[in-house]
Amino acid sequence: MKFDPDVRIKVFTRSDMAAIGDAVLDALTEDPDLAPQKFGLWDPLKADLEQARSLWRGEAAKPVGFLSGKGKRPFEVGLLAAFGIVLPKSPFHTISWFSNPTVLRKVAISRIEALFHRLIAASNPYLAIGFHSDDFERQNVYRDFRHESGVIEPYRVVGIHPDRFLPGLYWLNYFGPELTASMPALAKGACGAGPHGKGALLKLADDPRQMTTPESITRIDQCKRELGEHRFFVKNPELEEDGETLELNLTGAPLPTRRSGDGSK
């Protein structure tokens, strides 16, 4: 299974989604080239921005809800807002903006970075990350993961529960006040982090396409050590003992015996 690459901003927040809806939609649509133009709960998306505000409030009132957005000119962009802190494995609302990597050739990267900052200001996130999908896959995806039952999962996304372990370090990283308070190295400027809004910002490259170079990978590993390696998800198929439950070994103890296939290709 092959997925098209993308450039993505993902926000994890516990804020009241009804209260922040207008600010988030304003942040998303301030730059017309990066803005979704049509919104809706399912395809085809037909709602305009004012109708999207009403749809947002309606979804925010539900135990679980979703709102999508799409723009096609001058290039495709997308939005997916997921409402509902109801599942033990998903204790956050999430807001995702994404586009094909061609966006990096069509607009100044600083404009995508500005969108990242606007979304932070609008949503008061626990964590926000900006990344190229190649980097996300390197840190958080198994290809052709073999379950204990023998079933092959073509694209297994892991390391996505930042309340347990952070899902990596990327081009842009914002740590909200709760995270910043729990990671003293951030306040000391570890790896170039600095105060931003209510939390801390760590920018690791000028261009998200740089993040999979050997030099960037080395720097990511160094930054994890400076910030506290135990705070980050470890992508290692030997720690996925039953193919379902993550058995994370962050203490240096011997790895558990592997029960299934190696889980990666």
Of residues 69 and 155, more confidently modeled: 69
Q: Is the peptide bond before 44 cis (omega within 30 degrees of 0)?
A: yes
> Percentage of the chain surpassing pLDDT 70?
86
What's the pLDDT at 155?
84
Distance of alpha carbon 144 from its chain centroid, rounded?
A: 22
**pLDDT at residue 61 above 50?**
yes
Q: What is the pLDDT of residues 131-173, one digit of tens each?
A: 999 999 999 888 888 877 888 888 888 877 888 889 999 999 9
Of residues 204 and 187, more confidently modeled: 204
**pLDDT at residue 249 above 70?**
no
- Beta strands 141-146; 7-13: pairing state: unpaired
Q: Where are the domains of the chain?
A: 1-125, 132-233
Mean pLDDT of the chain: 87
Of residues 39 and 162, more confidently modeled: 39
CA 134 to CA 140: how far, in whole Å?
A: 10
What's the pLDDT at 252?
39
**pLDDT at residue 14 above 90?**
yes
What's the pLDDT at 100?
94
Whole-prediction pTM value? 0.88
Q: Please count the other Cβ atoms lying within 10 Å of the Cβ belonging to residue 165.
A: 17
pLDDT band for position 263 (50/70/90)?
very low
Tell me if residue 137 falls in helix, strand or coil: helix
What's the pLDDT at 118?
98
